[in-house]
Amino acid sequence: MPFEYVPLLHVQREIYAVPRGMERFRKYLQTLLDPAGDDLALPPLAAINPMGKEHVAAYVDALLELGAEAVAAQATEEANRRLGLEPALKVSLAVLDDLKGGWTDRPAYELGFLSSEPRALLKRPWLALPCWTSEAPSRASVRRATLSTLYRYAHLLRRGRPRTLGQLLWAEGHALAFAGVQPWLEEEELAYTRAVVAPYRDSGRYPTLFACLFGDEAAKASGHAPLGLSPRAGSGLALAEALESGLTPEAALTL
């Protein structure tokens, strides 16, 4: 079975049970690294905020209470049935802190994963399924995060790293469709977004990819030129175009 779900929320909770300070940070490093201290024992924990405030621990507790590990495990089994991917890979939920001056820049993290080199991913075959502290925890959000992340990984392995905005939108749109995300852009905004994005579809420039995918607010916060787009407008366009294509996400991997 290519994807193997490994529960790690309880491990994250044990880290946050230690009071903030050097004792917690040492606990984090002892958990993250192998005994020799020169490689990662639990790679999904590399992106978590070891010094997270109370809201991070509360988020982990909420996920545990709603049975997030079981939801993610079931979604992982579904992805295995639908994708038939090789090679084997471990996957685990990881709570990433993008709230209250959070640890992780979400758009940069997401675009970094979307544009990863497949060979780099294969060097450490254990993938984080991100749960963001800025989103209310729910069984539905865990399922979406699991399915969309696993599809993105499958797309990178099957079709390689997207080189242009058009390729990136294709990949992301089908990832969202695979996870069952419903379209959210109204017809007028969809047409507007399509028109704004059109001149940039062949661009591979990082600032352009960033601004088109995540919108003006995120672009300006990261020092990129805005293009006149609402938050995640490019993602909304990507999903709409994936659905318009008439292809299943699974079929889109083979083209």
Domain that holds residue 248: 165-252
pLDDT in the model for residue 102: 66
- Regarding whether 175 and 126 lie in a shared domain, the answer is no
User: Picking from 102-106, 208-212, 215-219, 233-237, which range would have the lowest pLDDT averaged per residue?
Assistant: 102-106
Sort strands 89-96 and 126-132 into parallel, antiparallel or unpaired: parallel
The tens digit of pLDDT for each residue in 134-150 reads 999 999 999 999 999 99
189 and 144 in one domain? no
Whether the pLDDT of residue 7 is over 90: the answer is yes
18 with 130, same domain: the answer is yes
Taking the C-alpha atoms of residue 39 and residue 43, their distance in angstroms, rounded to an integer, is 9
Q: How many domains does the chain have?
A: 2
Do 123 and 231 fall into the same domain? no
Do 88 and 213 lie in one domain? The reply is no
Same domain, residue pair 9 and 122: yes
Predicted local distance difference test score (pLDDT) of residue 84: 86
Instruction: Based on the fold, state whether residues 134 and 172 are members of the same structural domain.
Output: no
Q: Is the CB of residue 243 less than 8 Å from the CB of residue 76?
A: no
Give pLDDT tens digits for 73-126. 999 999 999 998 776 899 999 999 998 666 789 999 999 999 988 777 777 789
> Phi, psi at residue 187, to the nearest 5°?
-55, -45
The residue among 92, 126, 159 that closes a domain is 159
Query: Do 174 and 234 reside in the same domain of the chain?
Result: yes
pLDDT tens digit string along 148-205? 999 999 999 999 999 999 999 999 999 999 999 999 999 999 999 999 999 999 999 9
Statement to judge: residues 147 and 170 lie in one domain: no
Which residue, 138, 159, 180, sits at the end of a domain?
159
Torsion over CA: 40, 156, 180, 192 (sign): positive
Buried b / exposed e over 91-116, threshold 16 CB at 10 Å, is bbbbbbbbbeebbbebbebbbebbbe
pLDDT digits (tens, 9 = 90+) for 50-63: 999 999 999 999 99
Q: Are residues 176 and 150 in the same domain?
A: no
The verdict on 116 and 238 lying in the same domain is no
Using the structure block, give the residue that is written with the tokens 């993610």.
Answer: 72
Same domain, 11 and 64: yes
Domain-terminating residue out of 139, 159, 179: 159
Confidence of residue 207 (pLDDT cuts 50, 70, 90): very high
